[in-house]
Amino acid sequence: MMPLDLTIAIPVRNEEHNLPKCLEAIGPDLARQVVIIDSGSTDQTTSIAKSYGAEVVDFVWNGKFPKKRNWFLRNHTPTTKWVMFLDADEFLTPEFKSELRETLKRDSDFVGYWLRYTIYFLGKQNKGGYFLHKLALFQVGAGEYERIDEEQWSKLDMEIHEHPVLNGKVGTIRSKIDHQDLRGVSYYVTKHNEYSSWEAARFLKLANDRSQTERWSWMQRIKYGMMRTPWLGPLYFLGSFFLMGGFRDGTRGFSFGILKMAYFIQIYLKIRELQEQEKPAEKRTKQNELV
């Protein structure tokens, strides 16, 4: 089969455990180009990428906009019609690849597509819980990821929960991609500790910026509307475990729901902490104004 008019871009850093399975799942004839965007890996990531015939580009973050995905779009703009961003722990299934081929070969006025994912935890696929979906496939030139001037809130050099802002209609590919991180629970906990710090800082910066909040999806509005309260975590757990069927995964589903609940509670506590840290600075500013 002829490769699709598609570039698959995979941002990485020290992904030697996940990357081989990711590249094997893509296969040699799905896309015209597979690019690894590497942030100074110190393991075998880049040599693995080259052994599969993928192109490797190096990214060094300066702590400001753009981060990795937008930097790639601006500085290594794909020559293909479509670009799909894939994480190294996301593995394309035969069903997804078949639907992807049919979708991109079809004449359509969609400029992007939401992708759906299965979630694996403790080595098994979850039967229930909230589903994962991302807007990760779109036409080159149709837009880029949200602009957030971070100013080094964290050490995260890649867009995490930013969404692409596209000029045009967006569809959905129904077949799922397997999301299965092979690095274990310790990495999951460490990663989400970093994510929660970033989420808290982002929330405080953007919550009062109407130009940004107007772009939020309805799901983002609900999420960020509750982020100032401690109830987002418990409500997530109740929805995931009971309403969305997480109970079907037994103790795995219960444990996964508890971990996600703890993540949202971390965000709430870090927002409170940052607000307390800002108070002395506000007092000093008022005193200086009085003088």
| pLDDT score at 214 | 73
Instruction: Give the mean pLDDT of the chain.
Output: 92
What is the amino acid identity at position 172?
A: T
Confidence of residue 281 (pLDDT cuts 50, 70, 90): low
What is the amino acid identity at position 277?
A: Q
Distance CA 58, CA 242 (A): 44
Q: Are 247 and 241 in contact (CB under 8 A)?
A: yes
Q: Where are the domains of the chain?
A: 4-182, 198-290
Residues 6+ apart with CB under 8 A from 136: 84, 85, 86, 115, 164
Q: Which two tokens stand for residue 62?
A: 């300066």
Q: Is the pLDDT of residue 273 over 90?
A: yes
Q: What residue ranges in 107-209 does DSSP mark as E strands?
A: 110-121, 124-125, 132-139, 143-145, 164-166, 169-179
| Max avg pLDDT among 53-62, 100-109, 148-157, 271-280 | 53-62
Give which of 63, 17, 62, 55 is closest to 36, Cα–Cα: 55
Handedness of CA 182, 90, 61, 57 (dihedral sign): positive
* Top-level class of domain 4-182: alpha beta
Full-model pTM: 0.89
Q: Which residues pair with 156 in a beta bridge?
A: none
Distance CA 7, CA 266 (A): 36
Handedness of CA 4, 134, 17, 150 (dihedral sign): positive
Query: What angle in degrees, to the nearest 10, is found between the helix axes of 250-290 and 184-206?
Result: 40
Q: Are 259 and 188 in contact (CB under 8 A)?
A: yes
Other beta carbons within 10 Å of 63: 12
Q: What is the pLDDT of residues 161-188, one digit of tens each?
A: 888 999 999 999 999 999 999 999 999 9
Looking up tokens 């509005």, which residue turns up? Answer: 221
Q: What is the pLDDT of residues 219-247, one digit of tens each?
A: 777 877 888 899 999 999 999 999 999 99
Q: Are 42 and 14 in contact (CB under 8 A)?
A: yes
Q: What is the pLDDT of residues 42-61, one digit of tens each?
A: 999 999 999 999 999 999 99
